[in-house]
Amino acid sequence: MQHRILGTGGLEVSAIGYGCMGLSTSYPPFPTKAEAVGVIHKAIAMGVTFFDTAEVYGPLTNEELVGEALQPYRDKVVLATKFGYDLDGGKRDALGKTLCLCSRPEHMRKALEGSLRRLRTDHIDLYYQHRVDPAVPIEDVAGAIAEFMKEGKVLHWGLSEAAPGTVRRAHAVCPVAAVQNEYSMWYREPEKELLPTLEELGIGLVAFSPLGKGVLTGRFARDAVFDKSDFRSTIPRFQPENFSGNLALAEMVQDYARAKQTSPARLALAWLLARKPWIVPIPGTKSLSRLEENIGAAEITLSAAEMAELEEAMTHIVIVGDRYSPGQAALTGK
């Protein structure tokens, strides 16, 4: 497995990480505990060193699962988790997710201690603010993180779904190692302002949903319908009136993958890796075969000519529909 560096502080991670959310949140049916631990251990055996979770996944149960699975390997992996929600008093959406943001420094302290306990560790390698809290200046958040770092409880920090201006302000107070954002062939908005900002500041990008929430794997038909318990059922671009046309992108990826004698998922991940040397995708899966498929993308090289050809093909495909419902979108990009 190749490795990459996030930020100027030398945080080294595997070129492809593992997003743990789907083991217990958003995409049922969920694996048993033994199955989930088995997938995590298989990822480690295949060279993955970067694992991503959050207190809100579950909530709380995903951290507990990941903490138990990684405990025997703690000194060999980079563990990322997130704070930023009020899990006690927050309102919930239709899928049970909390919608109340809270990044007050005293709440951050409580969240940190809880995550450390559930993750069975004395430090967090990469600690993200999950969503920007408009009620708390980002400078105050960065100041609290700086205190956690002095205590050795946080080694590096980052932001998730933050606007470029917010990233700049945070970075000026306490250097940011990485910004986590959705980024893939399916969602390319970060290319406009976020990626240039990160490149200028020397900050890494951790790409979540790098396979377009499963679309780019080629597993869905045009008439696919998502169960109400599935997070995708709430997303406009997955609604029947949009989804059929949106699959043109997935079909294009399948065609190119076939020509390159690889899988659509590997091609989509290889495309991300080729975009910038400081981009690290964190695909999630509950399947051992899909895990092996995803990790194999690190061995695929796309030439400049192939990247240009893919770029040209994508310019003729328009994705219709927002990537979040209005309520969810209100929590991004502040």
Specify the pTM.
0.93
The dihedral through the CA atoms of 17, 329, 31, 290 has a sign that is negative
Task: Single out the catalytic residue among 27, 57, 127, 183.
Answer: 57
**List of residues 6+ apart from 184 with CB closer than 8 A:** 207, 209, 210, 211, 212, 216, 268, 272, 281
Using CB atoms within 10 A of its CB, is residue 253 exposed (0-12), middle (13-18) or buried (19+)?
buried
* Residue 226 pLDDT: 87
Say how far apart CA 206 and CA 280 lie, in whole Å: 5
Q: Identify the residue whose tokens are 């100027």.
A: 8
Say how far apart CA 16 and CA 36 lie, in whole Å: 18
Q: Identify the residue whose tokens are 């029947």.
A: 240
Q: Identify the residue whose tokens are 């709380």.
A: 60
Q: How far is CA 279 from the centre of its chain?
A: 11
* Residue 220 pLDDT: 87
Instruction: Return the C-alpha torsion angle 68, 87, 180, 75, nearest 10.
Output: -20
Q: Does domain 3-211+272-300 have CATH number 3.20.20.100?
A: yes
* Residue 94 pLDDT: 47
pLDDT (tens digit per residue) in 135-147: 999 999 999 999 9
H-run or E-run covering 67: helix 61-70
Amino acid identity, residue 33? K
Q: Can 18 be counted among the known catalytic residues?
A: no
Q: Which two tokens stand for residue 213?
A: 């929430």
Q: Where are the domains of the chain?
A: 3-211+272-300
End-to-end Cα separation, the chain, in angstroms = 35
* Residue 96 pLDDT: 55
Given a cut of 50, the residues of the chain with pLDDT beneath it are 94-95, 334
- Quick check: bond before 29 cis, omega within 30? yes
Q: How many CB atoms lie within 10 A of CB 94?
A: 11
pLDDT (tens digit per residue) in 234-245: 899 999 999 999
Following DSSP, what letter does each residue of 99-153 receive, concatenated? --B---HHHHHHHHHHHHHHTT-S-EEEEEESS--TTS-HHHHHHHHHHHHHTTS
* Residue 217 pLDDT: 93
